[in-house]
Amino acid sequence: MRGMWARAIATLVVLFVAVSAGAQTLDAASQQALTETLKLLRDPALRDAAIAGSPQAGGIDRQIQSMAGSPELTQEIYELAAQIFSDLTRGTGGDVGRMSEALERARTDPAAFAAMLSPSTLARLQAVAGRISDRPR
């Protein structure tokens, strides 16, 4: 299960880096950018349009779909990504430098990154990771 957590978090880290590259601080414009990013992660139609315009996003999406194995679990992973992104934003006060540092640390220490998450997000991450590891290959 620990390996699945690391893989899931690593994939989400790449996703966060891709969607947050243009963010600054949590001023009014950044709050709007965060709101739009969360909408994009949660809404399949918006997400598909964004993915169509980005080879990097397309590659990430293919990894997520492959890991998930079903459209339902794929959507759940994106919803979880939005929840994690919200926790990360709150935990760093929207400071892009701190967010980037946290994401970089997550690549090598996913358990420390997971410790930053709210209890409800962590529980959801555990549930999703369990569903991913339980699915037939």
- Please write the tens of the pLDDT for every residue from 1-15: 445 545 555 556 555
| pLDDT score recorded for residue 104 | 83
Residues 9 and 3: beta-carbon distance below 8 Å: no
Query: Which residue is listed with tokens 């990430």?
Result: 60
Contact 132, 67 (CB under 8 A): yes
In this prediction the pTM is 0.77
Residue-range domain boundaries for the chain? 2-134
**pLDDT tens figures, 68-114:** 899 999 999 999 989 988 888 888 877 778 888 888 888 888 888 88
Residues 87, 118: contact at Cβ < 8 Å?
Answer: yes
Return the exposure string of 33-63: e unless at least 16 CB atoms fall within 10 Å of the residue's CB, then b: bbeebbebbeeeeebeebbeeeeebeebbee
- Compute, in degrees rounded to 10, the torsion defined by CA atoms 122, 118, 81, 132: 0
